[in-house]
Amino acid sequence: MLTKYDYIETIALELKSTTDYNFQYKIGEVLKVYSKYKNWTYEMPNSSGGDDKNDGWIVEEKRFYQIYSPQQLRDSLRKDIQEKFQEDLEKLLKLIYVDNKWNGDINDFIFIVNTMDRNLPHDSTRYFDNEKERLESLYGITFNAKVVNVDYIKDLLEEMEINELQSISARLRVTSIIDYNALSAKFFYEFIDILNEGIQRKFRERIDTESTSYERISSPRKIVINNLEEVSQEIEGIILELNILEDIISTVYQDIDYADKFERIVSYTIKTYETLTNNYSGVELYHKIVENLISYTEFKRSYEYPAKILIVYIFDKCDIFEKEEVS
């Protein structure tokens, strides 16, 4: 079953993969559904009617959107964004306060940039704040202005219910390409990457493993029952390190969407285990689970130990391998 997070991830990926007018159109479709969900009126002016520096606005909120999606990201992206922001905002304010367009007032100016797979360039000189203040002084007004990327849209998507997300997916024609298993795998690799970072941080800071304890559930007998004696030392050693994983779960995965995400990671691992039990058992099964989980990574050795930590964590929670008999 597809979750809310599946739709959010797929919509975000679709937006990042488009450019020019297609990006503007798809952002508009998202904002239409979002505004309807909030009982607001969203208007998207026809671009063929002239350049009014208004790619869409929420009437009741006096919130104006300008959308910038270059065909390719150049080294001069920061300067390009600055120039476009300054040009569009200055022109929009003139249209609002001199030509009395768009009801003659503004509360918010949201400048959405498609940075694709990159972050927004830094603004260490506070260029955008300075431009906003200059124009506020010019017109004797105050308003909010910010430069954002698709992460801003993801925040709006997270406010909505799954029905609205399904509607957006249908409008963007991405429903048919949502792959539950592929997304589960993506979440797994993302988590392993975070876990790897936690392991490296622990090594750098020389954190005492006894400073934060992990409450073990299984006993050494479970290792014997499953014929894992050959890797018992490895498993026991990893169990002593499971506090690293629990720390990550408690900090990175607090949000409800991230909680769902971690459940998907665990389910993905359990499904891999269940598939492999048809042909393997004992130590061979243990190694095959690791091998299959990291099979799609280019650099497998850096993923192997974090994957083992996750497997042993699920092993200790008794979700994989034969359970101990309760007396």
Average pLDDT over residues 253-268: 71
Write out pLDDT tens, residues 90-112: 999 999 999 999 999 999 999 99
Given a contact cutoff of 8 angstroms between Cβ atoms, the answer to whether 74 and 40 are in contact is no
Assigned token pair, 25: 């159109």
* Predicted pLDDT at 44: 87
* Predicted pLDDT at 63: 97
Phi, psi of 253 (to 5 degrees): -110, 50
CA 179 vs. chain centroid, Å, equals 16
CA 260 vs. chain centroid, Å, equals 13
* Predicted pLDDT at 98: 95
Given a contact cutoff of 8 angstroms between Cβ atoms, the answer to whether 85 and 128 are in contact is yes
Helical H runs in 220-281? 220-225, 232-239, 242-252, 256-276
* Predicted pLDDT at 176: 57
Write out pLDDT tens, residues 35-78: 999 999 999 886 655 557 899 999 999 999 999 988 666 778 88
Confidence of residue 209 (pLDDT cuts 50, 70, 90): very low
pTM recorded for the entire structure: 0.60
Confidence of residue 249 (pLDDT cuts 50, 70, 90): confident
What DSSP string runs through 133-168? Answer: HHHHHHHT---EEEEE-HHHHHHHHHHS-HHHHHHH
* Predicted pLDDT at 224: 93
Sheet holding 108-113, edge to edge: 42-43, 56-58, 63-68, 108-113, 144-148
* Torsion angle in degrees (nearest 10) through CA of 111, 258, 264, 303: 90
Neighbouring C-alpha atoms within 13 Å toward the C-beta of 35: 21
Average pLDDT over residues 284-309: 86
Three-state secondary structure call for residue 295:
coil
Write out pLDDT tens, residues 126-178: 999 999 999 999 999 999 999 999 999 999 999 999 889 989 988 888 865 55
Write out pLDDT tens, residues 18-30: 888 889 999 999 9
| 43 Cβ contact partners less than 8 Å away, ≥ 6 residues apart | 56, 57, 59
Phi, psi of 42 (to 5 degrees): -110, 130
* Torsion angle in degrees (nearest 10) through CA of 211, 216, 219, 224: -90
How far, in Å, CA of 302 to CA of 305, rounded?
A: 7
Buried b or exposed e, range 150-189, using 16+ CB within 10 angstroms = bebbbebbeebeeebbbbbbebbebeeebeeeebbbbbbb
* Neighbour-count burial of 134, counting CB atoms closer than 10 A to its CB (0-12 exposed, 13-18 middle, 19+ buried): exposed
